A and B are shown apart, each in its own frame.
Chain A
Amino acid sequence: MNRRIAVISTGCGIFMVDRAADPSALSRFDGLLPQRIAWPSPLRFVLYVAVAAFFIASIDGVDISLGELAGGVPSIGRMVGQMFPPDLHRIGPILLSLLETFQMAVVGTFFGVLFSLPLAVLAARSQTPHVIAYHVSRALISLFRTVPDLIWALVFVVAVGLGPFAGTLALMVDTMGFCGRFFAEAMEETDKGPQEALTALGATRLGKICCAVVPAALPSFVNTGLFSLEKATRASVVLGLVGAGGIGIELKVAMDLFNYDQAATMILCVFILVVAVEQASALLRRHII
């Protein structure tokens, strides 16, 4: 006999219902069965419409023109054509500038990560000693993160003058904004058990942070720190455009003088450096984490 058995899974268990014997068996779950597509509430619907309207207005606002894009393709082609073969006559000074760029990235990231740690402790809800310290540190991190690194570079060029020191300070502040937030979140997500065990045995707040929180969050710290180094290496190239040291200023001069073959050498050097840093950080990640 071919009987139709329905298997119904509910929060209370799994039931087998003989639908031939009781065709109305499933109707008992009509009220419980979630809708296939849940319709949004009126408020949410209005929000979706507003977002879609803004997006359409934005397309109009940025003057998208496929004609201009098509007309610009030959210019790009001409520029790329002039870039090859790259001019290697100035490879020495270019490599020195590249080294300075990388040094800015390394030093800026190191101090950025270092200063992020205490900032993150204050900004982690579970670790902060006081609610005022929490709000102040969160506000600082937001400020560091939301102001672009190029603006920080301009600020520090005014403060300490042209050169790599301004760029290093800009990268440090940018790293503090980035790492401060992720370090704080990593600390908040750590297992509370070891911290409670140390609380129960009378450890100090600093002892708990250093013995239980930091070791647990270390993989996340390493990951975020290495990602910051990659980010800083890319950013340090651009900072030179505003006089904050590194290869950026060389690149700008080459582009302004239409020396595209020299610019190509610099772009290739930067590409190799960024790829090398990414590969090295991936290797470190695998090794440490």
Chain B
Amino acid sequence: MSAAGITATAARRSPDAAAPPATVGTAAPAPVVTALSRRKELVVRGLVKGFPARGPVLMGVDFALLHGQSVALIGANGTGKSTFLRCCLRLTEPDSGSVRLLDTELNGLGATALRRLRARVGFVFQRHNLVPRLSALSNVLHGAQARHAGPRYWLHGLAPQSMREAAMHCLDQVGLADLARQRADSLSGGQSQRVAIARMLMQEPELVFADEPVASLDPSAGEEVMELFIDLMRRRRTTLLFTSHNLAHTVTYADRIVGLRDGRVALDESAHRCDIDGLRHLYG
């Protein structure tokens, strides 16, 4: 889809299409008035994270994600999009700042409580991160470990029948029920990412993070997987925070776009007020 086409699409979706496109550098709150009454599923305050080799990456990021929103996080390479998502689940420990996720403060959370909290949040990685030697069905079944522990949820051959059927249902939702027995390392990149999405569905998350979920796929497979992913999220009304370098995806699939630059939020705007050319300034 061309940039002009995307702008037109965004304009068609927009109730206030006449409003001027957003400009980078003005971190105004999202003008979705109805959203203000919604529950905040993620609240980040003054998040700071640096790495010895890269220096400071996030330098005091403030962010809030409302229930039911679909938010795209954009920015040039190295601006800390992935680091931000990882800090929100404490897969990477932040240097300072606070993260409140699903009404739970992450700071000082014990290992078991953190594990239980993570179980409520789905995470789709840029690389599918499937276990290569196991079947697609076993990989999907691993999503059930968010709610159940023990050997019965390690392999589909050991799993209760209800769980096997639930995993099959998730595979069916991504159109891969017929490949349930196939080993993950024999699947194509697009199929693998679909299985990773099915694993996330199996988890039954309240909130989903996706870190450039189609960046490792070719454009055609990327479009297909992204459409499927967003469609599943919308049908389930799941809150979504995803990062992407594909600006067409951000204006098409997100309600709100947040841009990072120089370790801070440089843009926070309703998606229908953004156009691709305007967003490109974030990469300048």
Interface string of A201-219 (1 = CB under 8 A from B): 1111011001110011011
Of B37-45, B138-146, B266-274, the one with at least 4 CB within 8 A of chain A: B138-146
CB-nearest residue of chain A relative to B145? A203
Instruction: Name the distance in Å between B92's Cβ and chain A's nearest Cβ.
Output: 11
The residues of A that contact B118 with a CB separation of less than 8 Å are: 199-202
Which residues of B, 223-245, contact A by the 8 Å Cβ criterion? none
B123 within 8 A of A: yes
Best-surrounded residue of A198, A202, A219 (most CB of chain B within 10 A): A202
Interface string of B156-189 (1 = CB under 8 A from A): 0000000000000000000000000000000000
B127 within 8 A of A: yes
Which residues of A, 182-237, contact B by the 8 Å Cβ criterion? 191, 193-194, 196-204, 206-207, 210-212, 215-216, 218-219
The residues of B that contact A194 with a CB separation of less than 8 Å are: 129-132
Instruction: Name the distance in Å between A38's Cβ and chain B's nearest Cβ.
Output: 27
CB-nearest residue of chain B relative to A209? B154
**Do the beta carbons of B142 and A211 come within 8 Å of each other?**
yes
**Do the beta carbons of B91 and A207 come within 8 Å of each other?**
no
**Do the beta carbons of B132 and A197 come within 8 Å of each other?**
no
**Do the beta carbons of B154 and A198 come within 8 Å of each other?**
no
The residues of A that contact B131 with a CB separation of less than 8 Å are: 194, 211-212, 215-216
The residues of B that contact A211 with a CB separation of less than 8 Å are: 131, 134, 142, 145, 154
| A9 to B146 Cα, complex, angstroms | 51
| A202 to B206 Cα, complex, angstroms | 14
Contact of B115 among A191, A196, A204, A212 (CB under 8 A): A204
**Do the beta carbons of B145 and A207 come within 8 Å of each other?**
yes
CB-nearest residue of chain B relative to A197? B129
The residues of B that contact A215 with a CB separation of less than 8 Å are: 131-134
Interface of A is mostly: helix
**Do the beta carbons of A216 and B154 come within 8 Å of each other?**
no
Instruction: Name the distance in Å between B95's Cβ and chain A's nearest Cβ.
Output: 20
The residues of A that contact B94 with a CB separation of less than 8 Å are: none
The residues of A that contact B116 with a CB separation of less than 8 Å are: 202
CB-nearest residue of chain B relative to A210? B154
The residues of A that contact B149 with a CB separation of less than 8 Å are: 203-204, 206-207
CB-nearest residue of chain B relative to A213? B131
Instruction: Name the distance in Å between B127's Cβ and chain A's nearest Cβ.
Output: 6
Best-surrounded residue of A191, A197, A207 (most CB of chain B within 10 A): A197
CB-nearest residue of chain B relative to A202? B119
The residues of B that contact A193 with a CB separation of less than 8 Å are: 125, 127, 129
| A197 to B120 Cα, complex, angstroms | 14
**Do the beta carbons of B123 and A201 come within 8 Å of each other?**
yes
The residues of B that contact A204 with a CB separation of less than 8 Å are: 115, 145, 149
The residues of B that contact A199 with a CB separation of less than 8 Å are: 91, 118
**Do the beta carbons of A198 and B145 come within 8 Å of each other?**
yes
CB-nearest residue of chain B relative to A215? B133
B153 within 8 A of A: yes
A196-B91, A207-B154, A215-B134 in contact; A201/B129 too (CB < 8 A)? no
- 20 A-B pairs with CB atoms under 8 Å apart are A194-B132, A196-B91, A197-B129, A197-B130, A199-B91, A200-B91, A200-B118, A200-B125, A201-B118, A201-B119, A201-B143, A201-B146, A202-B116, A202-B119, A203-B149, A206-B149, A211-B154, A215-B132, A215-B134, A216-B131
- Counting from the closest, the 9 A-B pairs by CB-CB distance are A202-B119, A197-B129, A193-B129, A200-B123, A202-B118, A203-B145, A202-B115, A194-B131, A215-B133
Other contacts beyond A197-B142, A201-B143: 10, CB < 8 A: A193-B129, A196-B125, A198-B145, A200-B89, A203-B145, A210-B151, A211-B145, A211-B154, A215-B131, A215-B132
